Amino acid sequence: MSTQTAAGRITLLEETLAGAKAEGRAALIAYLPAGFPTVDGGIEAVKAVFEGGADVVEVGLPHSDPVLDGPVIQTADDIALKNGVRIADVLRTVREAHAASGKPVLVMTYWNPVDRYGAERFAAELAEAGGAGCILPDLPVEESEVWRKAAQLHGLATVFVVAPSSRDERLAKITAAGTGFVYAASLMGVTGTRASVGAQAADLVRRTRAGTELPVCVGLGVSDAAQAAEVAGFADGVIVGSAFVKRLLDHADDPAGGLDAVRALAAELAEGVRKRG
């Protein structure tokens, strides 16, 4: 793959986020785990979310010990792992979702599977599949050089996660190392839908922006259009995961209904990020 082609993939992510900003709105970023409810079903779910209005999708690499993920995503990961999902299936999901939509698809993964697979190999294969980058929630910046070099070589964004507990000097260090955007966890804890997104999120976005020009996108807790509008009022992107996964779990016996449900939720959230609460 040429450097020019690789660089174009980061540009797609950057242009997507910049395009949403130019429209006076936040970007809608959805999360779905690969292999859930099946590999084919997971691919169709990502396509449905894009059809509903998502700008970017994070494809999760299921992990047996997902420390950041709440019970909804853990349940989906367990199903995917019991079905034998592999990294090849994650890459296939990225490839087919990107090919069908032409939109940015990232992988969200804990570091251990990538480290075992080989950072250079994973980066090369993700880029070949059309991936836009990786979100690595448990990889400390201080230990990220191997991955960041491989990602840069293949034109992939490296997205780090910041939290309300992150001090300003820590935020500056993390954002200086990251590319694409910054993932701001809206509150301390694991993923999952919540009645309120939390006032900490706006303060975290403000502090993060003070040290970077990267877009700051907020996740953990957003589940409906009203919350999406609230977050869109102060963030560059709204990240939604558990709410989509729950729709699929609620339609376990009706795969077509599950696809309709996530497509409809994406449409509701896409409308929400355009209202900017």
Which helix (H) or strand (E) element contains residue 59?
strand 56-60
Letter for the amino acid at 265? Answer: L
**Length of the chain, please?**
277
Rounding to the nearest 10 degrees, give the CA dihedral for residues 37, 61, 112, 56: -160
Tell me which residue of 8, 5, 13, 1 sits closest to 158, measured CA to CA: 13
14 noted as active-site residue? no
**Which residue's structure tokens are 């997902």?**
66
Residue 130 CA to residue 144 CA, distance in Å, equals 22
Q: Are 106 and 54 in contact (CB under 8 A)?
A: no
Query: Per the residue annotation, which of 44, 55, 58, 77 is the catalytic one?
Result: 58
Query: Per the residue annotation, which of 14, 44, 55, 69 is the catalytic one?
Result: 69
145 noted as active-site residue? no
Residue 15 CA to residue 9 CA, distance in Å, equals 10
Active site residue ranges: 58, 69
